[in-house]
Structure 1
């Protein structure tokens, strides 16, 4: 099984849709994915993700299936007290790693007291439940394939919810993914979850943050908002 993950195009965050350049990025991404044998298209319920997905779905004669759990994450203090940097996970991740405290990141108040972890836990659970429908059962930090599956599916989502998915599926610390593995708008990332020996699946990164298809509408500046 292969999962093609695409971050939405350049967003108009205020109106939760794509900018004109974002629309062009989404169209170019659809062309980029035209030769992929995509069996199903999934998207976050947010407008910018659905709009981005619509072009690829149309090219493959598919519907856009909404996955509520892929909604962009929120952040801020759980307790009503203020968190440093308003709880912005990307900034806190940088500070945590710079301080050499990533090993116990879940217990550090940057994340333990941050509502982003409610999203992290829910996304992780729901992602595993979703993958079970494709015959991939979570066992510890990897997966077991209980049936043959050669499907390729496409996810269209966000910088935050996508980082959670990568962190969970690849068993990488969330702060590490946020800082060392950022990905741009309409970038293409591909995960391969095909077993290589027996039925055990160690997820592999086939491609990460590919933006070569965007050409003149490529946007380098990374910006992550709700």
Structure 2
């Protein structure tokens, strides 16, 4: 199947560089709403059969125009929310959070931020959510999720991508995956970068 893994639109927490990972999270700001509308126009001709959003407000608000353009309802999917910042929540200094996430590797899965989650916990819950989407039988689906979660999940299922080809996703940019959890995933697009 093909999965569009989309980062939500802009929030005031993004503008102020705050680690906003807890529920329900900040809503979209005016720019974020415009981005969501533009996203809907950009993807309106894609053969997307289902639109999923995380349990956080900003993801659902981003997904709504896209779903409407496709004649679909937004399906809220547990498990694709942002990686918890735990004790670092709403901190403007991301160094601890980013440092922990960058330390994650196949040999370092059980480290996490105080009050947050480990790599193993995150990868398990995100992977299980994606499997639910696969089991629904869609050929093409869109998941509106979050920057750190999308990056870590995609690099986990496609670990050999060159880091230079995997920049931070801007608001409403996406990663496109093709394949399955059983057979493996291939990244065909990461933000502005496409792969043959």
- Which category describes the TM-score, using the shorter chain as reference length? 0.7 to 0.9
| CA drift at 1:171 | 3.9
* Equivalent position to 1:68, from 64, 72, 78: 78
Matches within 5 A, 1:69-218: 69-76=79-86, 87-89=96-98, 93=102, 106=108, 112-115=111-114, 118=117, 120-133=119-132, 134=134, 151-171=139-159, 180-193=166-179, 201-210=183-192
| CA drift at 1:202 | 3.3
Q: Does 1:34 align with 2:44?
A: yes
Question: Which secondary structure state, in structure 2, belongs to the residue aligned with residue 69 of structure 1?
Answer: coil
Equivalent position of 2:11 in the other structure: 11
Give the distance between the partners of 1:201 and 1:72, measured in 2 at CA.
25
| CA drift at 1:11 | 1.0
How many matched pairs? 178
Shift in alpha-carbon separation, 1:31–1:121, aligned structure 2, 3 A: same
| CA drift at 1:77 | 6.3
Provide Cα deviations, 1:132-158, integer angstroms capped at 9, x if missing partner.
Answer: 4425xxxxxxxxxxxxx6610001011
| CA drift at 1:8 | 0.6
Which ranges of structure 2 fall in alignment gaps of 5 or more residues?
A: 14-19
Give the distance between the partners of 2:172 and 2:59, measured in 1 at CA.
10
Give the distance between the partners of 2:100 and 2:125, measured in 1 at CA.
26
TM-score under structure 2 length normalisation = 0.73
Q: Which has the larger radius of gyration?
A: 1
Shift in alpha-carbon separation, 1:55–1:114, aligned structure 2, 3 A: same
Q: CA RMSD, aligned part only? A: 3.7
Question: Which secondary structure state, in structure 1, belongs to the residue aligned with residue 72 of structure 2?
Answer: coil
Equivalent position of 2:17 in the other structure: none
| CA drift at 1:61 | 1.2
Kept in 2: contact 1:166–1:172 (CA 8 A):
no
| CA drift at 1:18 | 1.1
Kept in 2: contact 1:42–1:66 (CA 8 A):
yes
Question: Which secondary structure state, in structure 2, belongs to the residue aligned with residue 165 of structure 1?
Answer: helix
| CA drift at 1:186 | 0.6
Question: Which secondary structure state, in structure 1, belongs to the residue aligned with residue 55 of structure 2?
Answer: coil
| CA drift at 1:124 | 2.0
TM-score under structure 1 length normalisation = 0.64
Kept in 2: contact 1:72–1:161 (CA 8 A):
yes
Shift in alpha-carbon separation, 1:51–1:71, aligned structure 2, 3 A: same
